[in-house]
Amino acid sequence: MLNFVKNFTPNWFTVGMGTGITALGAYLYPGGPLWLKEAGTGLWLVNVVIVGILLVMMVLKWIVNWKGSIALLHDPIQSMFLGAVPMALTTVINGFIDMGSRLIGHTAIAIGFSLWVINVMMALASGIVVPFMMFISHDHRLDKMTGIWLMPVVPAEVAAASGSLIIPHLAHTATAQTMMVINLGLWALSVPLAFLMLGFLFLRLAVHKLPPAEMAISTWISLGTLGTGIMGLIGLGKSLPLLFGSLGHAMDGAAVLGSFALWGFGLWWLALSILLTVVHARRGLPFNLGWWGLTFPLGVFTGGTDMLYGQMHVGLIAFFAHLFFVMLALFWAMVALRTFRAVLTGRLTFSGAPKKVVLHETRAVN
């Protein structure tokens, strides 16, 4: 156990990201049956335990392996996954806001808000410290770039989307206005930078072709950036009248229009991600924790599609929302099963990568 703590890496938080967003998707499924909501609630409770254990592991590592924890910041791969910590916590926070009141009453909102404050600080630290380390310490080249570059900068917009759920529960107008300004700032801090990286990722794929097989799923992360952008725009758009009065209603409409543009861009990235994954699968796709990248990005894009349908009430959008959730549920079940099996058989190392001695066997299974 002590060895696991010393070598614990933040990419394990992708398990919490994927499980949490699947739970939220099941609970919020438009017109979903009661059993699906109950299943979503149960899975969310499981995820609370998972994320809680992972956070304890992370804290313990900083206590028992301080030098290794600092060295993590200099790792050009694992440092990117520090962004997974606040994003996994966000799925817990949203669950308290959406389902918690039914379980523990209004206390759930207070817990969600307290965790959100902590989450914002972690998101800001991830979005500033990790890029700073990229500039002064990491060895990066364009041909080595993958979608995981987005991981440290996306948590801020994820926190903004989460914060938009809290605003309606705030009793005082001044407090709600302050929350709006903070969340708009978080969204603006993340989305433009993410779009800059998407442009470079397009260039990298066009010039240097596919990433290595072990990073194949990272292309899906681009979809998550657009999904949380949609959720933030629509969620915050509903509260814009708090800051801008009657003008805020018109700005809410503009937010929906902007979300539709992001949604169309997301459909393009989804199609490309599927095609690139199929190409990799035909060549051999080794299993690692990166496969959880199939879940959270698709989950938040599904959530954004749900919210877009709620604003536009177009049947075609509803069809895509249902389709994406079915895909999400299947992906989660597949990846969760393979992760559980890999842990039991010892195929995954502490860093979540397949052991070299079984790498060829893993490829054969795929």
Query: What does the alpha-carbon distance between residue 324 and residue 318 come to, in Å, rounded to a whole number?
Result: 10
Query: What does the alpha-carbon distance between residue 118 and residue 111 come to, in Å, rounded to a whole number?
Result: 11
Task: Give the model's pLDDT for residue 2.
Answer: 72
Q: What is the percentage of the chain residues whose pLDDT exceeds 70?
A: 95
**2-27: per-residue pLDDT in tens?**
777 888 999 999 999 999 999 999 99
Give the SS3 label for residue 354.
strand
Least confident of 90-104, 277-291, 293-307: 277-291
Domain 2-365, what fold?
Glycosyltransferase (1.50.10)
**99-140: per-residue pLDDT in tens?**
998 999 999 999 999 999 999 999 999 999 999 999 999 999
**41-54: per-residue pLDDT in tens?**
999 999 999 999 99
* Tokens (6 digits) for 223: 């979809």
Residue 23 · residue 40 · CB < 8 Å: yes
Residues in the chain: 366
Q: According to DSSP H, which parts of 209-314 are helical? A: 221-237, 241-244, 247-283, 296-312
Burial class (CB in 10 A: 0-12, 13-18, 19+), 310: middle
Task: Supply the DSSP symbol for 99.
Answer: I
Q: Residues with Cβ < 8 Å from 135, sequence gap 6 or more? A: none
Residue 365 pLDDT > 70, yes or no?
A: no
Query: What does the alpha-carbon distance between residue 201 and residue 39 come to, in Å, rounded to a whole number?
Result: 37
